[in-house]
Chain A
Amino acid sequence: MTTQTLIYLIVGATFALYIGIAIWARASTTGEFYAAGRGVHPVMNGMATAADWMSAASFISMAGLIAFVGYDNSTYLMGWTGGYVLLACLLAPYLRKFGKYTVPEFIGDRFYSQSARIIAVICLIVASVTYVIGQMTGVGVTFARFLQVEASTGLYIGAAIVFAYAVLGGMKGITYTQVAQYIVLITAYTIPAIFISLQLTGTVLPPLGLFSDSVSSGTPLLVELDGLITDLGFASYTGHHTNTLNMVLFTLSLMIGTAGLPHVIIRFFTVPKVADARWSAGWALVFIALLYLTAPAVGAMARFNLVNTIQTGEVGTPEGNLAYADVPTWFTTWEQTGLIKWEDKNEDGRIQFYNDKNTAFETQAEAWGWRGNELTVNADILVLANPEIAALPGWVIALVAAGGLAAALSTAAGLLLAISSAISHDLIKGTINPNISEGGELMAARVSMAAAIAVATYLGLNPPGFAAQTVALAFGLAAASIFPALMMGIFFKRINNVGASLGMLAGLLFTVIYIFVYKGWFFLPGTSQFPDTPEYWVFGISPLSIGAIGAVVNFAVAYFASQATQEPPQEIQVLVESIRVPRGAGAAIDH
């Protein structure tokens, strides 16, 4: 059987499985649609949360981002896992105790303010829609390569599948589908990693392989990798080369943002008890860590393999560089997608892959007859191309395709649920038409999904950056607006309606404006005030790291505005006290 047939077979089988589960576990009430009837086992919810959480960015882009940068991008690893500690002790148990369906609903009730609720809805929609863009891009990339279609066609196909799937599911269907998707994606991610770790280091477990000796030279893999790439003018892999302040703030923004992402928070509404919400956060991180401990190994090993493929011999000798006539098949397949580009600048028929931005290395390179870097590799393809680069069997390649799609689809479904429930439950049921019938509310949730997908598809066709960077913007927004409001709602009784509303607005505007100034207004190309490069950033803080500062702005504005205005009413203080204690949480509805 050819690899292509295997890909169609395995991807087709997983799609059939997801749709099967979605049909079997279809939601018939709003309680099931929004919170899966609150009957999900904490381990099961942990697994679903892991799939909900690990997106195209985690699966497809993250290892690539680490591979091309090394230590400095450890921020993604710490940031995207550290948020679960915050979630477990600062948010999840109390919000489960509160026992409603959406994040804006908590903010509206706790701050006894319809406008706070609306601001929360806007924050939620902006953050979730930004996040969906990354998923759509990921779906497009995966389809383009593995199902032999254009990236834009892939995007349309992906959107159609996500649509069918999210509308059928509701939270109940999505939960069980995400469990299946987790199993697909973690298998797809770890199997090639194990093979590659064995090939390069003889160690079965990739996280241990990363710190083991290379089979070919006997020196530690990381030492050999540092040597290989610094010889080509690249910055060392293990060294620290970026602004430390920015690194800290970026990590913090990702952590707070993770804890403030509504589609993750609402997963904790589905467990039966408050104690289950705590356990569930732990299980979620265990399942997430299986991928996150593998990713840095995949990154380092992929970089190692890539450089060795191109730089076949001694650096500087003509024969040291791979002749284009001899490139492996994976190289040409990926070239067709436009994600690998080669331009023979010095017309020697060989590929030079080096850092031509390094001025210290320039004279040396010129002396060798190199006329600039000839190879561009999109960071997003490293994980997808990994099995081919390591010459693994066809079924592994097919599995990776299915895994990438599982990661993107499961997250997209979770996001769409968060968006549609905010629109149907908070805007329509909560504001416009409180007397809407159960069936009417369900229908409204489904219709709003369609609109969200249309917007996400448009933005997916015109993405502002790497898939993971697009996602990072969503984190800034969640960090600056939603997380502080939720945390203050639980931990600070004195914060009132005025404080919370102004705080959220200030955090959101501050963050969004800082991002738009560098990334273009509404990400429209050519509308940015300053180039998005470190020398233009205030104190070297990148637009991706600004969420943490936005959160501080939010906290400060909320505190001072609350101090200057009236204390929250007695019943709100009682509400806060009851959220803090698990006793008396609503029991599971059914299952």
Chain B
Amino acid sequence: MHQGSSSDDAYWKANLSLIRNILIIWALVSFGFGILLRPLLSGIPVGGTDLGFWFAQQGSIIIFIILIFYYAIRMNAIDRKFGAEE
């Protein structure tokens, strides 16, 4: 086994928990707000239709972009914290 294995385990755990949080939001805005929960959001009007339609056609895409940049920024910090950067 290579050096720093226990810190690498902690690094991997930090990565996994970040990924889990990101995927929860990823699923919530697309499958959730965009499709399954749309009936619940039907009372919130957006430009001639409802919030669920907006999430399905625009909102989810915008949130996806934010999620990826958030992941990149957080992972850079985690890389540095655990001395895992290149």
Contact = CB atoms under 8 A, between A and B. Distances in A.
B41 interface: no
A251 B30 contact: yes
Contacts of B68: 84-85, 88-89, 278, 281-282, 285
Interface residues of A, number: 55
A582 B35 contact: no
B38 A240 contact: yes
B60 A78 contact: yes
Instruction: State the main secondary structure of chain A at its contact with B.
Output: helix
B58 A275 contact: no
A577 B2 contact: yes
B8 A89 contact: no
B51 to A, nearest CB: 11
A211 B46 contact: yes
B65 interface: yes
B34 to A, nearest CB: 6
Contacts of B85: 275, 582-583
Contacts of B72: 88, 275, 278-279, 281-282
Nearest to B67: A85
Interface string A235-273: 000101000100110011001000000000000000001
Contact of A581 (B8, B22, B34): B8
Interface in B9-62: 11-12, 15, 18-19, 22-23, 26, 30-31, 34-36, 38, 46-50, 53-54, 56-58, 60-62
Report whether over half of chain B's contact residues are helix, strand or loop; otherwise say mixed. helix
A304 B49 CA distance: 16
Interface in A100-150: none
Interface stretch (A26-34, A215-223, A442-450, A498-506): A215-223
B34 A78 contact: yes
A400 B46 CA distance: 31
Nearest to A272: B86
B79 A275 contact: yes
Q: Which 4 A-B pairs have the closest CB atoms?
A: A211-B47, A220-B48, A74-B56, A222-B48
14 contacts: A74-B34, A74-B53, A88-B68, A90-B19, A207-B58, A238-B50, A278-B75, A281-B72, A289-B62, A296-B58, A574-B1, A578-B2, A581-B8, A582-B86
Given A223-B48, A296-B57, A577-B8, 4 more contacts: A77-B57, A238-B48, A248-B35, A279-B72
